[in-house]
């Protein structure tokens, strides 16, 4: 795994969102999860610390970490799936958080540019072949375009 946060001396998370991101990455690390499942004290301590910090967060943090709550609403399960899909596509955690929290906004200019960019990409046979074949960069671009086009447009007069 290339995630630098999985190195031997990671910077400990200081917020629930950082804990969620770290826990999500660790769950995909088979070496780390293997050690945790075999009772390694270091991995268990980290796991418990991350969960303690995560419990101080909100449902978005829990969804980003792939954590079930005591009682799971359909919305929470959907957020967990969306967070996982976007993370696997290479979307940065802060963008995933904004999407799940419903706080993602764009300017009218950004919206117009991305709308045009998406229209161009969707008529580009080579790019659409890559997208349909599961190309990671095309998939990431596709998700980012959709995030931008479904976000709220900032009221620039109020800013």
Residue 156 confidence (pLDDT): 64
Q: Is 82 exposed, middle or buried (0-12, 13-18, 19+ CB in 10 A)?
A: middle
- Residue range 34-88, pLDDT digits in tens: 999 998 989 988 888 888 887 777 788 888 888 777 777 888 899 999 999 998 8
**In the predicted model, what is the mean pLDDT of residues 78-103?**
90
Residue 158 confidence (pLDDT): 53
> Cα-flanking dihedrals φ and ψ of residue 6, to 5°?
-95, 10
Query: Is the per-residue pLDDT at 121 higher than 80?
Result: yes
Query: Is the per-residue pLDDT at 112 higher than 90?
Result: yes
Q: Which residues pair with 152 in a beta bridge?
A: 105
Ranges of each domain in the chain:
10-101, 105-153
Residue 71 confidence (pLDDT): 72
- Residue range 13-29, pLDDT digits in tens: 888 778 877 888 888 89
Strand, helix or coil for residue 106: strand
CB–CB of 150/105 below 8 Å?
Answer: no
Q: What average pLDDT does the chain have? A: 85
């Amino acid at each position: 795994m290339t995630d630098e946060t999985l190195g031997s001396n990671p910077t400990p998370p200081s917020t629930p969102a950082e804990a969620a991101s770290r826990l999500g990455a660790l769950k995909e690390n088979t070496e780390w999860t293997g050690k945790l499942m075999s009772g390694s004290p270091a991995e268990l301590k980290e796991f418990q610390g991350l969960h303690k910090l995560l419990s101080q967060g909100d449902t978005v943090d829990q969804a980003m970490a792939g954590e079930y709550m005591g009682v799971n609403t359909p919305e929470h399960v959907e957020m967990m799936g969306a967070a996982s899909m976007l993370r696997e596509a290479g979307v940065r955690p802060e963008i995933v958080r904004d999407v799940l929290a419903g706080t993602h906004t764009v300017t009218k200019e950004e919206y117009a540019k991305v709308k045009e960019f998406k229209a161009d990409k969707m008529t580009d046979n080579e790019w659409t072949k890559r997208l349909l074949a599961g190309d990671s960069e095309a998939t990431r671009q596709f998700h980012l375009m959709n995030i931008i086009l479904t976000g709220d447009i900032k009221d620039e007069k109020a800013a």
